[in-house]
Chain A
């Protein structure tokens, strides 16, 4: 700590000295500028600009000196290694503040700085009573996403509330150290709080492996990996509800390893292997410590042209179900996505056509109390189009057997319109028709408002 203080004092002194050397010349040139204003305004303007430019250049040089000092200080302090990226940002910030200060210095009001007006110090070393307050700079990125849903219409099979704050998702994300980053997504529903995802990602493993440890949405297909607020529709497809455990899907505590490969003919290939505890909604249930579930995903992607690309995937999941340790559920999935987004018109027009197919083989007891495997199949196909900067429309066809009784098949259709006031909010309306196996038809209209507070998250792809 003492070392830091010494170095900082040195920086303060240095820069103060620099400022003292530089300032007289600035005011001199300013004066000369002023005297000439009356005689020849045009050339004076040019001269002034030139003088100012020189001034700025001088200050920039001093700053780079200072920054050098700052960097060496940072390097000297090995413990602060993980502060790297944040400190870089602060240094950018303070640097620019100084430059604007420097520009401001040509007005007489600002031309009388005292040595305390050290350029480096204010934003970088602001303390509010203690060394720990600098820790604020290391706070993670925080975002909160509100998901409000209103429903009208009739649905006796899967009833939902008329109005609800369906989910409030708190995202807390930060780089942990040079080797890993952490992501937490806590979802506050109407029933309580749930860690939707919380994992550490190891980004600096050898051989290009990326590993994740924690609770996460399993890499089973596409829709299972997407958070509620990032879905293209207000609800999830029937196949998710019937075969993959509903809204939460396959989401469990475990370990994931991913590796990307360059395939032949410019194909991008990605393999993911995951091991989970084996508890996921009503899909998997661990009755025993040995009842772990595994998920494997293989993805292929190719740019067909600059604006069109094809994304395909195969997924496999295996775990034990609620009938007991001897009863397995094997899930197979295939997904295809075709995207079109012309680069020049990217914010105005785009198209996405996505299909997913799921096969569920579930061991269970038949009515004759013998073990049978129930084979169920489900799919959805959705097409979404961005009409212009603010409007997107889409339609989805759904069909799915029920996992426990494949003789029961539900079918549905949805169409959706989304209005984007900005990148940070969406207002949507979805019409949903469902023909349920019970012989009941449901016609519903869903309305959703999504709003994002705080950190700018990554755009979904």
Chain B
């Protein structure tokens, strides 16, 4: 029976040998001198691209038309994460259901929580709806640190881009001038675009809307819209008949006609609410890549504002 032990060790050794051999598989190594960046969402990827230009190779885990709370922790994402230099996340527990295991299993020390390659973009942004006092799940799937959909405010976009710029410079000081220049150009273009967006939305300032999920507080604040109610009774809880009836009453009372829905929610309840209230459902994209034509951070607002204007005009 002592014979067994050497056999065991032999097996373990051969196992390790196999691991070592597999190690020889050439991984797709990013082109030299380029920083490899992975972001949790497409919006962050778009901002990294704006600042990083051709000196970074950026990829997002979630797709733009996907509910960022419910991304699956697919092993294929580990292949993106295991070699990357920088991971940029939305934070505020948006990714809590799927990102922690991915980070942990990636075997990449550079992007572990707190490591230099781990960047929580919420640090730079203005955060709304931070619950005060006792937080319980009686309020649904609340985010104790505040609403994580903060990127839908161009000013936050700029703040995040600045944070990304500082991080890229820190990681790649040789390209400091390049990143600074890209950021300056982005800042200028974004401020210009924002002027135009604000001007476009000005006629609708103060208009009341109803949204499916609480994805739009930052957007609404920036463009002076008033979110009057939600299709979800509580965050993460699907619509209930009673709440829907109450919402219809509220909308009739306040004259709310526009129901904003994210692309990943069912349209049945919003549509029936729209029928009852004579309103209109408008599917706005919360993220870059939600539709094919939304290829960058600018087009995201272009798209959403065009859709919203159309909805406001037809329900006048």
Contact = CB atoms under 8 A, between A and B. Distances in A.
Query: Is A bound to B?
Result: yes
A422 B22 contact: no
Nearest to B122: A92
B137 A96 contact: no
A178 B115 contact: yes
10 contacts: A91-B123, A99-B127, A208-B108, A260-B105, A262-B28, A264-B25, A271-B22, A290-B4, A311-B75, A343-B63
A259 B19 contact: yes
Interface of A: 49, 56, 60, 82, 84-85, 88-89, 91-93, 95-97, 99-100, 175, 178-179, 181, 201, 203-210, 257-264, 266, 268-271, 273, 275, 288, 290, 292, 294, 296, 299, 301-303, 306, 309, 311, 318, 325-326, 328, 341, 343-348, 389-390, 422-424, 456-459, 461
B57 to A, nearest CB: 15
Contacts of A275: 12
Given A209-B107, A273-B16, A325 B126 contact: no
A205 B11 contact: no
B97 interface: yes
Contact of A85 (B66, B113, B127): B113
A456 B74 contact: no
Given A210-B105, A294-B8, A456-B96, 20 more contacts: A85-B114, A88-B114, A97-B130, A175-B114, A205-B107, A208-B107, A209-B107, A210-B107, A273-B16, A290-B1, A301-B74, A311-B75, A325-B4, A344-B264, A346-B67, A424-B141, A456-B141, A458-B73, A459-B72, A459-B97
Given A96-B146, A325-B1, A459 B19 contact: no
A60 B163 CA distance: 13
B264 A181 contact: no
Contacts of A347: 67, 70, 264-265
A261 B25 contact: yes
| Most chain B CB neighbours (cut-off 10 Å) among A96, A100, A208, A269 | A96
Interface in B242-284: 263-266
A422 B141 contact: yes
B98 A458 contact: yes
A422 B63 CA distance: 24
Interface string B83-125: 0000000011100111011011111110011110000101100
A185 B27 CA distance: 36
A58 to B, nearest CB: 13
B75 A344 contact: no
A256 B100 CA distance: 19
Nearest to A96: B127
Given A92-B123, A341-B72, A49 B115 contact: no
B6 to A, nearest CB: 10
A301 B2 CA distance: 38
A88 B101 contact: no
A266 B25 CA distance: 12
A93 B238 contact: no
B22 A261 contact: yes
Contacts of A459: 70, 72-73, 97-98
B303 interface: no
B79 A268 contact: yes
Interface string B144-178: 01100000000000010000000000000000000
A260 B107 contact: yes
Contacts of B75: 260, 268, 270, 299, 301, 311
Given A290-B4, A344-B65, A422-B236, A92 B145 contact: yes
A302 B93 CA distance: 28
A346 B12 contact: no
A260 B19 CA distance: 9
B31 interface: no
A456 B93 contact: yes
A348 B72 contact: no
A430 to B, nearest CB: 23
B76 interface: yes
A210 B104 contact: yes
B55 interface: no
A290 B5 CA distance: 7
Contact of A328 (B4, B98, B146): B4
B15 interface: yes
Contacts of A89: 145
Contacts of B91: 92
B18 interface: yes
